[in-house]
Amino acid sequence: MKKVYFPQHGGKTTEQNLVQDLVDEQIKLFGTDCFYVPRTMLRDKTLGEVIYSEFNQSYMIEMLLINVEGFGSPVDFVSKFGVRISDEIQFVMSRRRWEQSLVPALNLTISQRPNEGDLIYYPLTGNAYEIKFVEREVPFYPLGDLYFYTLTAEIYEQGDDEFDTGIAEIDAIELDHSVMTTLNLSNLQSTATATSTIDQGSVNNIPIGTGGSGYMTAPLITISQPPDVAGGDIPATATATIYNGVVNAITITNAGSGYTTAPTVTIDGPQTAKDFIAREHIVAGNYNDQGGNRSWTSDGTGKIYVDHSGSFDPVFATTTLVKYFYWYFEDERLRYRYTYNGTTATTTKGHFYYDAANNRYCINAYTNTDTSGQRARMYDLATDSIGEVGGWNGSNLTLELMNKSGDFRDGDLINGTVSGALYTLGSFSSIDNSNSEYDANKAIEDGADDIIDFSEKNPFGEFGNFTGSF
């Protein structure tokens, strides 16, 4: 039955377009540009629980703050943890502008609309707000259509979430609020030494005297010349390899000829210490740089591949032994640790394996499928001890580390995977968050140690409660 007195629902009328134009105009006149930051949740593959969240994209869109006098009145409610008071803020976003700017590019938990849990960054205040509720039907279908969303949000409370949007002021949220561990490093650099022996005029062995320390790349080996080079004697040559910053092997590449005495072997000293780069990843212990400049392709489902080739050839376990890999993409949107476990392929995000049937490598369930033409570098890690640089003071050699995982130990070598910086870990406190004035774990622990002397054999007892002799 045709509607005579009311607009036809389900279609677009000139009146509806006019209302939408007026809504968009008001938001553009009285609103401001904000950033919509979608949340990506990394879930446990067994129980499906959220381990942490990533914010690695941002989209600019105009919004209207409808709290014309600032923040709304504090909202208080009672929970099992007591009374909680929080300030609310409300934004209005054009439905048409949302569809034009965001929907085609987003893989949302709830499609086609803003999602609770996503963030709004408001440049005017420099704060991020977490969306708590999306009102989509008030007013209820005037003229048979909906024209805007009303987003109720609260100030974002930083947890273990990672920010890598490419917008410096947004990514700074992680730096300002993350748990920071201070590593006290030492720059223990020393030059390696070696000697040589000869047999029938040729160098047959170059034993290492001391391996040195602090080497970031293999040093140059210089061997003194035989006495009569002009007459046809051939100088010997050799190369070095390093492990954990120490020269661990010297290989003779040309034994030479004409030596009457063992030549002198000189090893170049370690390179000048380098500085860590902000937000680069560091690894504890040795790692093997498997090479970069590798072009990846995507199959459109979240899997990306590179053909097996040359030196880009990590040794995979044939058992359930866990191996650790770290990938760094040129666009800096992906900087995480990947794990290969045995030979079973899995759809878990970040799982890396060798696809033997097609002779290629694969990263499964990668969040960014736009990988054509990108370049990537891979590192084969000795351990899963990894973190992200939050701050670096080269004068006193203190490193502020966030998003730390794995076990760090005194004496570990700390490697910067991008800068090439190499230092030795002297000491650190696992309970001291240097980035928070409210963290009191270290103060409580130190206070407890002043009360109870754990150097005693029985710190909780009293003298005289023991019969016999100490």
Q: What is the pLDDT of residues 53-62, one digit of tens each?
A: 778 788 899 9
More confident residue, 305 or 255: 255
Rounded Cα distance between 37 and 163, Å, is 10
Contact 366, 349 (CB under 8 A): yes
Is 177 within 8 Å of 439 (Cβ atoms)? no
Query: What's the pLDDT band for 243 if we cut at 50, 70, 90?
Result: confident
What average pLDDT is seen over the chain? Answer: 77
pLDDT digits (tens, 9 = 90+) for 155-184: 888 777 888 787 888 888 887 777 788 889
Residue 169 main-chain phi, psi, to 5 deg = -70, -25
**In this model, does residue 7 exceed pLDDT 90?**
no
So what's the pLDDT on residue 270? Answer: 87
Q: Which of 85-99, 214-228, 453-467 has the highest mean pLDDT?
A: 214-228
Q: Is the pLDDT of residue 189 over 90?
A: no
Half-sphere exposure of 262 (CA within 13 A, CB side): 12
**Please, are residues 225 and 299 in contact by the beta-carbon 8 Å criterion?**
no
Confidence of residue 48 (pLDDT cuts 50, 70, 90): low
Contact 401, 390 (CB under 8 A): yes
Amino acid at 166: G
- Residue 320: per-residue pLDDT: 46
For residue 454, pLDDT over 70 is answered with: no
pTM of the model: 0.60
pLDDT score, position 334: 45
* Nearest in space to 259 (alpha carbons), one of 207, 205, 313: 205
Among the residue ranges 124-128, 281-285, 293-297, the one predicted with the least confidence is: 293-297
Q: What is the pLDDT of residues 386-396, one digit of tens each?
A: 888 888 998 88
Q: Which whole number is the average pLDDT over 124-145? A: 87
DSSP 8-state symbol, 103: G
Which residues partner with 266 through β-bridges? 222
pLDDT of residue 89: 86
Per-residue pLDDT band at 415 (split at 50, 70, 90): confident
Q: What value does the mean pLDDT take over residues 356-363?
A: 74
